């Protein structure tokens, strides 16, 4: 019996690597989401919402068989119909699928689309790294001109700046194309020679699947060897070199400071030419706020027309962590309606309804609580005003408006109270 009671009482916890976003934090999330949508709107991106569940094959082919994501991190399972499905680990292949499947090229003036939503990767959780996390994902299809690389990177930087994150650093690189990259991969293998056997297990696997990925290695003991390796920039073919130079000219024209890092190869298979990340904020070791690049063969590779692509994804958890402290929003409740005496409750509820219809954020109590306990709760709500409705007020068709910050109060006509409060609020914010 005792054991049974204990079992029923056990609290069921959330899954490791997932998080509840609680009321005190949600303001920050809403701010990040609001700025994200507003920036996307202004740069001409249309919103797309794709399912969180997709065929496993989409990512095996899209993200790439040799990536950590596909090899180790996907939440894959067989559904009841025998289909191999997965929770999406990133948005890009889904966005490409939607673009191809629905012929968005014809439907939009520019094939610029964005999406906001949760992604799932079975990673080792730590600050800024979770198993369910959220991304703003931005993609453009069909434009090869380096002007779009410049605009996408400028938009990413503008997004970060509009959030008030000031300590961010823009890092860029070019990983070349299918023409010149094999020469670079070979140069890496030649330079490594026999030292391959001194590298970590992951790197030994990388050498076989995609030698560029060695630059992602964080193992300390491997760093002296990696530091000596050749740089991708020295192996770019002429068109790739020119493209990279053009992208940099655009960034300079926008006045965007950036650092070129030959180690920025990114952990996904589809990239060609431009890659970039914005690092920074106070998010600890996981300091990539966003990352992206060009992928000129992915659309075709996933069965679509031969169209280039470029985009980025920003991690919303990391942006929320990196927001400056003062962006926390405080007092959100406008008014708390207090009913004094039994006869006032109905009138108080109608007042709350009318104020809510007028656009104010209004709370009111239940269960006929005493005016004292209503006032206590009004204090706890941090409402701007307490609106008192008692017998006197009812008789005079008025409401007593008490400003909580100053304790000053005055009577306002019941018929004009909504307009008065809206005016006061507009003046105060």
Q: What share of the chain is helix, strand, coil (3-state, %, to 5)?
A: 45, 20, 35
CB of 103 to ligand HAM, least distance (A): 20
Which residues make beta-bridge pairs with 398? Answer: 413
417 lies in the binding site for ligand HAM (CB under 6 A): no
Report the alpha-carbon distance of residue 341 to residue 330 in Å, rounded.
31
What x-and-dash track marks residues 96-125 binding ligand HAM by CB under 6 A? -------------------------x-x--
- Residue 69 CB partners (closer than 8 Å, separation 6+): 59, 63, 89, 90, 121, 267, 268
The two counts, helices (H) then strands (E), for the chain are 17, 16
Residue of 274, 333, 39 lying closest to 150 (CA atoms): 274
Is the CB of 19 or the CB of 425 nearer to ligand HAM?
19
Q: By CB under 6 A, which span of 97-105, 223-231, 286-294, 335-343 interacts with ligand HAM?
A: 286-294
Query: Tokens at residue 209, please?
Result: 């699947």
Report the alpha-carbon distance of residue 19 to residue 17 in Å, rounded.
7
CB of 72 to ligand HAM, least distance (A): 12
Longest Cα separation, the chain: 94
Q: Contacting ligand HAM (CB under 6 A), which of 45, 59, 130, 215?
A: 130
Report the alpha-carbon distance of residue 220 to residue 188 in Å, rounded.
19
Q: Contacting ligand HAM (CB under 6 A), which of 211, 293, 304, 390?
A: 293
129 lies in the binding site for ligand HAM (CB under 6 A): yes
What x-and-dash track marks residues 308-327 binding ligand HAM by CB under 6 A? ---xxxxx-xx---------
287 lies in the binding site for ligand HAM (CB under 6 A): no
CB of 74 to ligand HAM, least distance (A): 12
Footprint on residues 230-269 left by ligand HAM (CB under 6 A): 268
Is the CB of 159 or the CB of 312 nearer to ligand HAM?
312
Residue 318: C-alpha distances to residues 136, 279, 287, 315 (Å): 11, 10, 8, 5
Q: By CB under 6 A, which span of 132-140, 154-162, 323-331, 384-392 interacts with ligand HAM?
A: 132-140
Is the CB of 214 or the CB of 279 nearer to ligand HAM?
279
Footprint on residues 137-156 left by ligand HAM (CB under 6 A): 137, 139
62 lies in the binding site for ligand HAM (CB under 6 A): no
Residue that the structure tokens 């992915």 belong to: 298
Residue of 16, 33, 23 lying closest to 320 (CA atoms): 33
Contacts to ligand HAM by CB under 6 A: 90-92, 121, 123, 128-130, 133, 135, 137, 139, 268, 288-293, 311-315, 317-318
């Amino acid at each position: 019996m005792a054991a049974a009671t204990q079992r029923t009482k056990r609290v069921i916890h959330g899954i490791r690597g997932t998080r509840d976003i609680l009321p005190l934090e949600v303001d920050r999330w809403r701010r990040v989401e609001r700025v994200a949508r507003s920036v996307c709107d202004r740069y001409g991106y249309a919103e797309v919402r794709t399912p969180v569940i997709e065929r496993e094959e989409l990512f095996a082919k899209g993200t790439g068989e040799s990536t950590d994501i596909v090899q180790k991190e996907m939440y894959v399972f067989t559904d009841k119909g025998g289909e191999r499905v997965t929770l999406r680990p990133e948005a890009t292949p889904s966005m490409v699928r939607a673009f191809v499947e629905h012929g968005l090229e014809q439907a939009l003036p520019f094939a610029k689309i964005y999406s906001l939503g949760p992604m799932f990767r079975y990673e080792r959780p730590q600050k800024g790294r979770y198993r369910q996390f959220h991304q703003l994902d931005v993609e453009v299809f069909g434009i090869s001109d380096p002007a779009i690389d410049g605009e996408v990177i400028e938009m990413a930087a503008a997004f970060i700046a509009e959030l008030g994150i000031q300590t961010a650093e823009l890092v860029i690189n070019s990983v070349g194309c299918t023409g010149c990259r094999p020469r670079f991969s070979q140069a890496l293998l030649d330079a490594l020679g026999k030292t391959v056997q001194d590298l970590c297990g992951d790197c030994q696997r990388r050498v076989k699947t995609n030698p560029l990925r060695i630059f992602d290695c964080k193992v300390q003991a491997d760093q002296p060897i990696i530091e000596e390796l050749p740089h991708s920039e020295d192996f770019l073919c002429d068109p790739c070199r020119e493209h990279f130079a053009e992208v940099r000219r655009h960034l300079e024209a926008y006045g965007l400071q950036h650092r070129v890092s030959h180690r920025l190869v990114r952990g996904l298979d589809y990239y060609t030419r431009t890659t970039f990340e914005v690092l920074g904020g106070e998010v600890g070791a996981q300091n990539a706020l966003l990352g992206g690049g060009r992928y000129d063969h992915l659309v075709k590779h996933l069965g679509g027309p031969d169209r280039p692509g470029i985009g980025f994804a920003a991690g919303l958890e990391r942006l929320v962590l990196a927001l400056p402290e003062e962006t926390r929003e405080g007092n959100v409740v406008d008014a708390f309606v207090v009913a004094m005496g039994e006869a006032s409750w109905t009138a108080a509820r109608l007042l709350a309804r009318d104020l809510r219809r007028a656009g104010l954020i209004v709370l009111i109590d239940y269960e006929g609580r005493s005016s004292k306990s209503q006032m206590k709760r009004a204090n706890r709500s941090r409402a701007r005003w307490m609106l008192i409705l008692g017998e006197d007020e009812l008789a005079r068709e008025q409401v007593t408006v008490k400003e909580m910050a100053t304790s000053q109060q005055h009577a306002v006509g019941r018929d004009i109270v909504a307009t008065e409060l809206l005016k006061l609020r507009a003046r105060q914010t």
